[in-house]
Amino acid sequence: MTAQLPAAELDRRYSAESAPPSTWEQVTAALDAAEVFWLSTVRPDGRPHVTPLIAVRVDDRMHFCTGPDEQKARNLSAADACVLTTGTNALGSGLDVVVEGRAVQVSDPESLTRIADAYRAKYGPDWSFDVADGNFVNTVGGPATVFRVEPAAVFAFAKGEYAQTRWRF
């Protein structure tokens, strides 16, 4: 999730003996193809909160949006740490990806427009947003706050010939 990627580190404790590390290209392909992600945040009282949502990758960063009064937005206003996860429910095949980092609000119109274009391209016209006042807006709901995940670490869990690969940022 950056132009200068660190080398992939294969964790042999959780990998098959002959398994190769996943490649960054495999990770980005999985992120681009995934329709549903799970966002984990921490409530102000310390309890975890996990919710499904949709997300897009723009400028090699993951982005998601939420209503400003939703639980995840309230959580992120108190603590920006988050985890964005996607993958398959299959045990013997596929690639699960975990992006650990912090959520940073995006409010500049140029970036929001590119992110809105990415939502429309990936999810179709039902997920069409306009940009106004530093937020997404659409005809169905109120404003939506947009966040970018700044990664601290990314994990790829290859299944079949199990391999756990990590990138630190």
pLDDT digits 0-9 by tens, 63-115: 999 999 999 999 999 999 999 999 998 889 999 999 999 999 999 999 999 99
- The DSSP bridge pattern shows strands 95-106 and 37-42 to be unpaired
Report d(CA 75, CA 45) in Å as an integer. 10
Q: For residue 142, what pLDDT is reported?
A: 83
Domain boundaries, the chain: 9-168
- Indicate the helix (H) or strand (E) that contains 97: strand 95-106
pLDDT 10s digits, 9-66: 999 999 999 999 999 999 999 999 999 999 999 999 999 999 999 999 999 999 999 9
Q: Give backbone dihedrals phi and psi of 68, rounded to 5 degrees, phi first.
A: -65, -20
Angle 106-32-61 (CA atoms, 0-180°, nearest 5)? 30
Tell whether the model's pLDDT for residue 7 goes beyond 90: no
User: What are the structure tokens assigned to 7, written together?
Assistant: 């080398």
Provide the whole-model pTM: 0.93
Is 9-168 a CATH 2.30.110.10 domain? yes
Tell whether the model's pLDDT for residue 141 goes beyond 90: no
